[in-house]
Amino acid sequence: MDQYEGIDEVVHEPSAAFAESTNVAAFMREYGIDDYEALIERTTSAVAGEPESGVDWFWDEIVDYLDIDFYTDYDAVRDDADGPQFSDWYPGGEINVAHNVVDRHGAVDSPNRNRVALIWEGEPGDVREITFHELRRQSNRVANYLTEAGIETGDTVGLYMPMVPEVVSILYGCLKVGAIAVPIFSGFGREATATRIDDAEPAVLFTGDGFYRRGSEVRLKATADDAIADAGNVEEVVVYDRLGATPAADADADTDAEPVPWHADRDRTWDEAVGSQPSTYETKRLPSDQESMLLYSSGTTGTPKGIVHTHAGVLTQCAKEIHFGFDQKPADRFFWVSDIGWMMGPWTLIGNHAFGGTVVMYEGAPDHPEPDRFWEMIDRHGITQFGISPTAIRALRKHGSRQTASDEPSDSDGVGDDEWVEGHDLSSLRVLGSTGEPWDPESWRWFYDAVGGGECPIINISGGTEICGCFLMPMPNQPLKPCTLGGPGLGMDIDIVDETGESVRESGERGYLVARDSCPSMTKSLWSGDERYLEEYWSTWPDLWDHGDFAQKDADGFWFLHGRADDALNVAGRKVGPAEIEGVLIDHDAVNQAAAVGVPDDTTGTAVVAYVVLEPGVEPSDDLREELRALVGDEHGKPFRPRELLFVDAFPKTQSGKIIRRAIESVYVGEDPGDLSSMENPEALESLRDPV
């Protein structure tokens, strides 16, 4: 089998004019760096004749280059006396994220004062625009409320909020006072929310009465109350009114409206707690390594990990990636499909607002009221950067896919036109983005051609909550093959190693993605302590961060991922990632989505079971089932041919678009799948229990 089949052709070649106009090209000109390979070497490794490593040089140089404002200069770029596991970045410096992302842009004398910081669209169609001046005043009110509530530097504050503009001012208000913001995904149920409240122990929790999803009201406050009852800790709850629901204590007994459950001794309305506060506040000057956010992993593969980020680390990483990887310009409008409870939410806000950029935020479902909601938003708001998960694109691609009028195959390798995209002007787009999981070539091509018009680079990134950023990230001035992640991000010393920890990057072998050095945004530890932190990330090989992904670099220098190593299917002593099985299935014209799991087998130890969602109009059949099973056997070898292949309507997924394989496997073997409160579509479990 050709391991690069379907992805071994350079599809995207940026024009000379576009490549030269990019921010990364300007950086290369500034420092006399000739090409991409030299750029990566200069920023990620030791360079002959240079007194310091490329990593140290880059992260020191980038502070002034990106105009990141420290109140007090740092003494050294880092102190790594305790090894890469506990590098202390920018010691001696004083900084605050909120000063950089909102205060200086919203100041009276700032040219960005009246620039739009946020364009928000609710699912029903309501739109609000918030300027930096307004955002600064509202963030100050939040900061004053938190001070009044007794919140001090280092205290945690929970954000179990709907995606409304106020969530941005809550995040920045927390950062202003030195509190540690704890975003919690608004789609979590009681158990998942309680787990995070119990671990983080916030005294204050911000929440809302609810939000809109697929045309219906989703109530949030009762779930927050139940989680607090289970976890304790919370002394005061601030409730934002999104739905117009009335607190139960004030409800008219004759009304049919469902009131919001209310605890008069604990709960306060947003207007009462925040709206009445002064709009001025002196943002705290904090040490570089002061904790800024506590972000939790999604919990799809085990107990959620509380990941600790700092002010200097998260600011420099997010700003660097938005500026270089996504080529942020002053007039841009940046939209990444995410909730504030996932890493990409704070990443988008901090990275763009560091430069006074405009962020677009959306409340609801991607296919409501019709599957063209995103394309409509791109057209209406003039969005320039659009980021989304591969799973979401696969789901959107299946809506309305059709052949050309002559019923002849199109010129794009079998990908037909899409009636939901047609009719919308997407010409404002300059850069596309994706993250969360490996692509399949067909969906990547559809995204590139149908959405990006065959001109926008797809900046396919991979890193994670642990670094609030990316280990791998293409640059927009690079050529691209389908599904590639380009190469290491700037300032990121990344490698691919075998099971002994030896590098196999240049040999083209598949191996494990690792970091050989720290970066400023790498979690300083886990909230639960150093022991789990070291065990999770640094215990596989000495002084190597084990990220848990299978990776490979091809002969032309393009990097690819093959899924999670901890999801690897070990069949008769041979390992393959689920994404590799799934990629073969998705490549078939009849298949829209696929999921492969490993189940116990008496002969081989583990056997592959595959689930498939078919394209619209394709009917399940035994012939198709056997054809797909045989296809996997032909590509990967007979041991990996699925023992069973089952047709279903949908897969269980998180809000961020990740397939919850743990749930699929548990349903198949008849075990309790555990906490599934992060699931976006619990009805998908019924499809799994009754496959064809």
Whether residue 552 is found in the same domain as residue 594: no
Q: DSSP for 553-620, please give it.
A: E-TTS-EEEEEEGGG-EEETTEEE-HHHHHHHHHTSTTEEEEEEEEEEETTTEEEEEEEEEEPTTPPP
The pLDDT, as a whole number, for residue 189 is 83
What is the Cα–Cα distance from 624 to 612, expressed in whole angstroms? 11
Whether residue 247 is found in the same domain as residue 207: yes
Give the residue carrying structure tokens 């700092």. Answer: 310
- Report if residue 237 sits inside a domain: yes
The pLDDT, as a whole number, for residue 44 is 93
pLDDT tens column, 592-651? 999 999 888 877 778 899 999 998 889 999 999 999 999 998 877 788 899 999 999 989
> What does the pLDDT average to over 567-596?
82
When divided into structural domains, the chain yields a total of 3
Work out the mean pLDDT of the chain and round it to a whole number.
90
**Is the confidence at residue 319, as pLDDT, over 90?**
yes
Whether residue 376 is found in the same domain as residue 456: yes
Whether residue 284 is found in the same domain as residue 202: yes
Whether residue 365 is found in the same domain as residue 291: no
Sheet containing 591-601: which strands, arranged edge to edge? 591-601, 605-614, 644-647
Of these ranges, 412-416, 454-458, 581-585, the one predicted with the greatest mean pLDDT is: 454-458
Say how many C-beta atoms besides its own lie within 10 A of residue 233's C-beta.
16
Question: What's the distance, CA 347 to chain centroid?
Answer: 8
- Report if residue 154 sits inside a domain: yes
**Is the confidence at residue 301, as pLDDT, over 50?**
no
Whether residue 379 is found in the same domain as residue 469: yes
Lowest mean pLDDT among 38-42, 324-328, 410-414, 634-638: 410-414
Domain boundary among 272, 296, 320: 296
Whether residue 379 is found in the same domain as residue 412: yes
Give the structural domain span for 584: 577-689
- Provide the percentage of residues in the chain whose pLDDT is more than 90: 71
Give the residue carrying structure tokens 């063209």. Answer: 372
pLDDT tens column, 130-186? 999 999 999 999 999 999 999 999 999 999 999 999 999 999 999 999 999 999 988
- Report if residue 5 sits inside a domain: no
> What does the pLDDT average to over 417-424?
82
Backbone angles phi, psi at 491, to 5 degrees: 80, 10
Q: Is 336 helix (H, G, I), strand (E, B) or coil?
A: strand
> What does the pLDDT average to over 539-567?
91
- Report if residue 303 sits inside a domain: no
Of these ranges, 191-200, 270-279, 636-645, 657-666, the one predicted with the greatest mean pLDDT is: 270-279
Q: Is 269 helix (H, G, I), strand (E, B) or coil?
A: strand
Lowest mean pLDDT among 121-130, 187-196, 211-220, 545-554: 187-196
What is the Cα–Cα distance from 651 to 596, expressed in whole angstroms? 11
- Provide the percentage of residues in the chain whose pLDDT is more than 70: 91
> What does the pLDDT average to over 369-383?
96
Domain boundary among 269, 296, 323: 296
What is the Cα–Cα distance from 130 to 135, expressed in whole angstroms? 6
pLDDT band at 676 (very low <50, low <70, confident <90, very high): low
Lowest mean pLDDT among 345-359, 407-421, 484-498: 407-421
Whether residue 557 is found in the same domain as residue 650: no
Half-sphere exposure of 236 (CA within 13 A, CB side): 17
pLDDT tens column, 377-394? 999 999 999 999 888 898
Contacts of 308 (CB under 8 A, 6+ apart): 291, 293, 294, 523, 524, 525, 526, 527
Strand partners, 558: none
Whether residue 260 is found in the same domain as residue 404: no
The pLDDT, as a whole number, for residue 404 is 31
pLDDT band at 8 (very low <50, low <70, confident <90, very high): confident
- The CATH number for 610's domain is 3.30.300.30
Strand partners, 12: 480
What is the Cα–Cα distance from 477 to 14, expressed in whole angstroms? 6
Q: Is 431 helix (H, G, I), strand (E, B) or coil?
A: strand
- Report if residue 611 sits inside a domain: yes
Going by C-alpha positions, the residue among 80, 78, 86, 95 that lies closest to residue 526 is 86
The pLDDT, as a whole number, for residue 548 is 87
- Report if residue 2 sits inside a domain: no
Q: How many residues belong to the chain?
A: 692
**Is the confidence at residue 444, as pLDDT, over 80?**
yes
The pLDDT, as a whole number, for residue 639 is 82
The pLDDT, as a whole number, for residue 101 is 98
- The CATH number for 260's domain is 3.40.50.980
The pLDDT, as a whole number, for residue 413 is 41
> What does the pLDDT average to over 400-417?
38
Whether residue 529 is found in the same domain as residue 471: yes
Give the per-residue SS3 of 39-108: HHHHHHCECCCCCCEHHHHHHHHHHHHCCCCCCECCCCCEECCCCHHHCEECCCCEECHHHHHHHHHHCC
pLDDT band at 572 (very low <50, low <70, confident <90, very high): low
The pLDDT, as a whole number, for residue 1 is 36
**pTM of the predicted model as reported, rounded to 2 decimal places:** 0.86
- Report if residue 110 sits inside a domain: no
What is the Cα–Cα distance from 480 to 485, expressed in whole angstroms? 9
Domain boundary among 261, 296, 331: 296
Whether residue 401 is found in the same domain as residue 549: yes
Give the residue carrying structure tokens 């089998």. Answer: 1
Whether residue 443 is found in the same domain as residue 558: yes
- Burial of residue 637, with CB atoms counted within 10 A of its CB: 0-12 exposed, 13-18 middle, 19 or more buried: middle
What is the Cα–Cα distance from 156 to 2, expressed in whole angstroms? 51
**Is the confidence at residue 369, as pLDDT, over 90?**
yes
The pLDDT, as a whole number, for residue 602 is 77
Q: How far is CA 563 from CA 437, 547, 591, in A?
A: 7, 11, 19
Using CA atoms of 382, 386, 390, 396 in order, give the dihedral in degrees to the nearest 10: -10
- The CATH number for 474's domain is 3.40.50.12780
Contacts of 462 (CB under 8 A, 6+ apart): 435, 470, 471, 472, 473, 485, 513, 549, 561
Contacts of 493 (CB under 8 A, 6+ apart): 44, 45, 54, 55, 515, 516, 517
Put residue 455 in one of left, alpha, beta given phi > 0 → left and psi -120 to 50 → alpha: alpha
Give the residue carrying structure tokens 């393959």. Answer: 576
- Report if residue 567 sits inside a domain: no
Look at strands 591-601 and 574-576 and give their pairing. unpaired
What is the Cα–Cα distance from 609 to 620, expressed in whole angstroms? 16
Going by C-alpha positions, the residue among 481, 460, 434, 440 that lies closest to residue 586 is 440
